[in-house]
Chains A and B, each alone.
Chain A
Amino acid sequence: MKPAHSTRPGYLEQSPAVKARFDKIKQREVILEVRNLGKRFVTAQGEVDALRDINFSIHRRELVCVIGPSGCGKSTLIRILAGLENHTSGVALLDGKPIDGPGQDRGMVFQGYSLFPWLTVKKNVMFGPEMKGHGWEQAEREANLWLELVGLSKFSDAYPHQLSGGMRQRVAIARALVNEPRILLMDEPFGALDAQTRAKMQSHLMEIWRNIDVTILFITHDLDEAIYLADRILVLKPNPGEVHELIEVPVPRPRSPAQFSSPEFLATKARLEELIHPAAKAEKNEAEEEQNGTPHLIRFTNVNDNVE
C-alpha cells in the first residue's frame, strides 16, 4: 500500500526529534487495538459494508485523527469503539479487553449538541461521577475542577442553551474527561463551529491533552485540523470503508498555527489530498459516481441570465 521508497515523498521524512518522539510513543503500552474490524449494515435496501478489515492500534497519550470522505465509515468506527454500535467481524480491544457496550472507560464527544438541556453546566459535568456512585460533594468538586480546566467556571450555573457553540463543546469535553477515560473519542467535535472558534478549540484541546493523561481518537474531515492535531492520521477510503494509509505526521511538536506553511505540513497535506481526492483517477470516479447517483442539475434560469 505504501509508495515505493525510491520516490520517497517529503511527508515520510522525519527530523531526528520527531523520529525520537515516535519511537518513544511506540514504547508506550497499547491502549486501543483494532484487528480485522468489519461492520455490515443490513437494511431494507440490502447489505452495506460500512467498514472492512480495519487494523490499527493506538498507544497511550497518542492523538490519532481519522480522516476520509463522507460516508467512508468514520462515525461507524468511532461508534463501535464507544460501544454504541456492534461490529460484525474482527475485534476491538481496550487495554486488551474486548469492547462490549458503552462504558466510562471511553469518553465520547459528539458533533451535535449532546449536553443534557435540563441540567446546568456544572450538573452536566457532575453526571458521570454521579453515575459512578460518587457522592454529591465529590462529584461537585470534580466538576468544578474540570470546568476550571476548560475555562467555564463562570458559567457553571448556566443552562446549555445559554452558551455559544464552542462553549458547549468545551462542556462536553469536560463532561467526558471528568470520568478519566482511557481514551477520548471525538466525532467531528468542532465541525459545526466557525473557523475562528474552531482554531481556538483546537489549541485548547491540545493544551488539555498535554496536561492530562488521555489518549485521543479524533474524527474530522478537515485536513488542516488533522495535521495540526495528530500524531498519526488514519486515512479511510469509502465503499467499503478500509484503511488507506496510517500516516505519521512529521510536523514537530509543540504545534502552532505558524506551522501551517512549514514544508512538513505542506508535504503531509499534499499526501492527504492525493489520498482523498485522487486526481489521476478522477475520470474513473466520475463514471462511478454516475452510477451511485450524482445529482443532475437542471437549469432553472434563463440562458441570458448567467451569473458567471
Chain B
Amino acid sequence: MSAISRQLNKLMNADSSIRTLYGVASFLLPLLIWCLVSYTPFIWHPKVLITDVGGVDYFQVGMLVDKEMFASEMANMSVALQPLPAGTPANPIYLPAPHEVAQALYNGFANPPKQADTPSMPASIWHSIQIIFWGFLISSVIGVPLGIISGTYNRVGRLNEPFIEFFRYLPAPAFGALAVAVLGIYDGPKIAIIVIGTLFQQVLIIANTTRKLETTIIEAAKTLGTRNFRLLTRVVVPGILPDLYRDQRILLGWAWTYLIVAELIGTSTGITWFITQQARYQHFDNVYAGIMVIGIIGFGTDLLLAKLGKRLFPWDRTQDKS
C-alpha cells in the first residue's frame, strides 16, 4: 500500500515539474510566434519604412507606406528618371515588436509620460486597482454572507435566487448611464459597474458551494450539540472556506474583465484612460504595455492567492488535484 503511494508520489512530483515546464512553454510559444512575425521580414511585413524619400514629394523619412504603393512609386521614379526612394520592410504600426513593448513597459514605470495630457502608467494602474478593490469589496461584503445564508437556509435562497438569476442576465455596462446619473462621473459609477457585474454571480456561486457541503458533517455537528447560528459560524463557514476562497479567486478575475467597461463610464480613468490616450497618439507599444500590465497584475494576484490558499487551508484536498 505504502509502496504504491510512494510510487504515486514520485509520479506526481515528476508530473509537477513537467507541468511547470508546460506552463512556461505555454507562454513562450505565443512569444515565439510574435518574435517570428516581428523580426523575420519575409513572414509578414506588409509595409515599407521610408529611409530615403528619393524623388517622391509626399514621402517622408520614417513614414510607413504600403508595399504596393512603394513599388509603384519606385516604378514611377525610374520611368521619370528621378532618384529612387529607399526603405525597409516593416510591420504595421499597430504591431510593435516585443523589444519595443518591453522598452515601453520599462519606460512607463521609469520615466514620466511625454505628453502633458497623458497619465503616467503607475498612477493609472494604481487607480484601476483601487476601483477593483472597492468594487470587489462592496460586492463581497453583500454577496458572501447572502450566498452563504441562501445556501444554508432554503427559504432565504428561494426568496432571492429567482430574482438574482434574472438580474445576472442584465449586462452590467447597460447600467452605465444610470450609474452616472445617480453616482456622478467620477469613481462611483465605475465601482457600481464592477459591483453589478460581480455581485449577482457571487451570490449564486457561493450559495451553490454552500449547498455542496456534506450533510453528514452538518448532522454530526447537530448530534454534538450545535444549534442555529453556531451551526453557521462553526460548521458551515469553516466547512466551505477553501471552496469559498476558490470561488472568490474566480470572481475577482471576473471583476477585472468588467474594469475596462467600467472605466469608460463618466470621465475615463485608470489604465483604460492610459490605453486610450496612448492609442490616440499611436503609441501602440504603450498600448500593449498597458494591456500587459492588466494581465500581469490579474494573473499575478491569482497565483499569489493560490499559494496563500495552500498555506491557509492545509486540510484542503482538492488543491492537490489542481
Contact = CB atoms under 8 A, between A and B. Distances in A.
**Does B bind A?**
yes
Interface of A: 82-84, 101-104, 106-108, 110, 112-119, 127-128, 131-132, 159-161, 172, 175-176, 179
Which of B221, B224, B313 has the most chain A CB atoms inside 10 A of its CB?
Answer: B224
Interface string B183-227: 000000000000000000000000000000010110111111110
B216 A84 contact: no
Main secondary structure of the interface of B (DSSP, over half): helix
Interface string B217-261: 101111111100010001100110100000000000000000000
Contact of B239 (A101, A103, A116): A116
Nearest to A79: B219
Given A103-B225, A118-B241, A131-B226, A108 B220 contact: yes
A102 B231 CA distance: 13
A117 B219 contact: no
B169 interface: no
A127 B224 contact: yes
A162 B111 CA distance: 54
Which of B221, B230, B239, B241 has the most chain A CB atoms inside 10 A of its CB?
Answer: B221
B315 A118 contact: yes
Contacts of B315: 117-118, 159-161
28 contacts: A82-B219, A82-B223, A84-B219, A102-B219, A102-B222, A103-B225, A108-B219, A110-B216, A112-B214, A112-B216, A114-B214, A114-B216, A116-B235, A116-B239, A117-B217, A117-B316, A118-B238, A118-B239, A118-B241, A118-B315, A127-B221, A128-B224, A131-B230, A161-B315, A172-B220, A175-B224, A176-B224, A179-B224
Contacts of A114: 214, 216-217, 219-220
A38 B264 CA distance: 66
B239 A107 contact: no
Q: Can you list the 6 inter-chain pairs with the closest CB atoms, starting with the nearest? A: A114-B220, A104-B225, A131-B225, A102-B222, A108-B223, A128-B224
A306 B217 CA distance: 46
Nearest to A104: B225
Nearest to B241: A118
Contacts of A131: 224-226, 230, 234
Interface in B238-295: 238-239, 241
Nearest to B313: A118
Contacts of A160: 315
A117 B239 CA distance: 8
Contacts of A106: 223
Interface of B: 214, 216-217, 219-226, 230, 234-235, 238-239, 241, 313-317
B9 to A, nearest CB: 14
B230 A176 contact: no
Nearest to B1: A164
Main secondary structure of the interface of A (DSSP, over half): loop
A116 B224 CA distance: 12
B202 to A, nearest CB: 22
Given A103-B223, A114-B219, A116-B235, 6 more contacts: A104-B225, A108-B220, A110-B220, A116-B220, A175-B224, A179-B225
Nearest to A107: B223
Contacts of B314: 159
A160 B216 CA distance: 15
A116 B217 contact: yes
A116 B225 contact: no
A13 B87 CA distance: 112
A132 B239 CA distance: 20
B225 A110 contact: no
A128 B239 contact: no
B319 to A, nearest CB: 12
B213 to A, nearest CB: 11
A106 B220 CA distance: 11
B219 A110 contact: yes
A132 B220 contact: no
B220 A128 contact: no
Contacts of B226: 131
Nearest to A112: B216
B224 to A, nearest CB: 4
A215 to B, nearest CB: 15
B237 to A, nearest CB: 10
Which of B225, B241, B315, B316 has the most chain A CB atoms inside 10 A of its CB?
Answer: B225
Contacts of B223: 82-84, 102-104, 106-108, 176
A128 B225 contact: yes
Contacts of B217: 114, 116-117
Nearest to A102: B222
A48 to B, nearest CB: 19
A200 B251 CA distance: 48
Contacts of A127: 221, 224, 234
A114 B314 CA distance: 18
Contacts of A103: 223, 225
A102 B238 CA distance: 21
Nearest to B224: A128
A274 B225 CA distance: 41
Contacts of B235: 116
B227 to A, nearest CB: 8
Nearest to B238: A118
A175 B226 CA distance: 13
Contacts of A179: 224-225
A82 B217 CA distance: 14
Given A112-B216, A118-B241, A84 B222 contact: yes
A144 B219 CA distance: 24
Contacts of A119: 238
B224 A104 contact: yes
